[in-house]
Amino acid sequence: MLDAARKPLVSVRDLKMHFPIYAGLFRRRVGEVKAVDGVSFDVFEGETLGLVGESGCGKSTCGRAVLRLYDITDGSITIEGREIGQTPQPDLRPMRPTMQMVFQDPQASLNPRMTVEDIIKEPLDEHTTLTDAEKREKVGELMDAVGLNRKFAKRYPHAFSGGQRQRIGIARALALNPKFIVCDEPIAALDVSIQAQVVNLLEDLQEQFGLTYLFISHDLSMVRHIATRVAVMYLGKVVELAPREGLYADPLHPYTNALLSAVPEPDPSLARKSERIILQGDVPSPSNPPKGCNFCTRCPSVMDICKEVEPDYREVKPGRFVACHLFNEINDTASQMAGTEDKKSTNKEKTL
């Protein structure tokens, strides 16, 4: 199995994040939005795992849940060997320096009433006992690292461009020497001309500080550039996970195939032979997902079994995981129909 010798820094197993829906005069609970519904993956030390999918597929919720910004519905999250899935929020405080987040919208994530120095210094105030002079020096070093001029430390966020504001957000995320950073669409709110600069900065910082990223994006071209492996999400589930080269050259899951068919290939000699696949219909509501495979309402390869039985998420080639009946053996499917398979335990033992 690929990566069997490497140890995951982060392991996520059967992660569920369901949000209740209340309605009526007495605000009774009438259902739930299954934003993340049984997601499993590993992130190995020093790698960038890309998490891609359409808007609303649950990828941002997944990133936040992994950092325990939510109290998760179910599942296990292990970071550096420590299980934090069910840890109460106050007890997570000592773990916070290890895991940080870079948010999508730097405009919204930076306090407009604080100077850049105060914004970057805030985590140092919360989690360290450094003196004021040491904190100022650390802020200067962080500004150097992300390519911001130290002279501007006393300015406010509005005085900076979008790309510079994202650099401030990255500097703040780096302040406590984290190991694992969730980058939640970090370039989506930036001009195209600035996007490559920020991605290159993230790559440089990864090399410099030995960082591990979960890089969430809907931009498949950018993920292809930065990610080591890629996980594809659809309607709250990971449907395929594979090393970057394999996924882009030979997508296995019909949804991945459709997504990649829409990505322009600049080199005509490398252009994929297949035609663009236009998916019919809308993404079903995560509060009422279809029976069987989540993708069965739009899948060009749908079979009868897909509408009845949820496909198992399994390793079909070394290092390549997919949840689709096209890759299931007939007897596996039969045993699944009989309800004899314990998916949870299978996933827990695997390296994903």
**Contact footprint for ligand SF4 (CB under 6 A):** 253-254, 293, 295-296, 299, 301-303, 306, 311, 324-326
At residue 29, what are phi and psi to the nearest 5 degrees?
Answer: -75, 120
Q: At closest approach, how far in Å is the CB of 312 from ligand SF4? A: 10
Q: At closest approach, how far in Å is the CB of 326 from ligand SF4? A: 5
Which pair of tokens denotes residue 288?
């009422």
Nearer to ligand SF4 by Cβ, of 79 and 293: the residue is 293
Residue 256 and residue 327: Cα distance in Å, rounded?
14
At residue 221, what are phi and psi to the nearest 5 degrees?
Answer: -70, -40
Q: At closest approach, how far in Å is the CB of 338 from ligand SF4? A: 18
Q: At closest approach, how far in Å is the CB of 49 from ligand SF4? A: 22
Q: At closest approach, how far in Å is the CB of 306 from ligand SF4? A: 3
Nearer to ligand SF4 by Cβ, of 78 and 257: the residue is 257
Nearer to ligand SF4 by Cβ, of 62 and 293: the residue is 293
Nearer to ligand SF4 by Cβ, of 213 and 313: the residue is 313
Nearer to ligand SF4 by Cβ, of 194 and 326: the residue is 326
Cα-Cα-Cα-Cα dihedral sign, residues 246, 196, 44, 52: negative
Nearer to ligand SF4 by Cβ, of 277 and 302: the residue is 302
Residue 155 and residue 148: Cα distance in Å, rounded?
12
Q: At closest approach, how far in Å is the CB of 285 from ligand SF4? A: 17
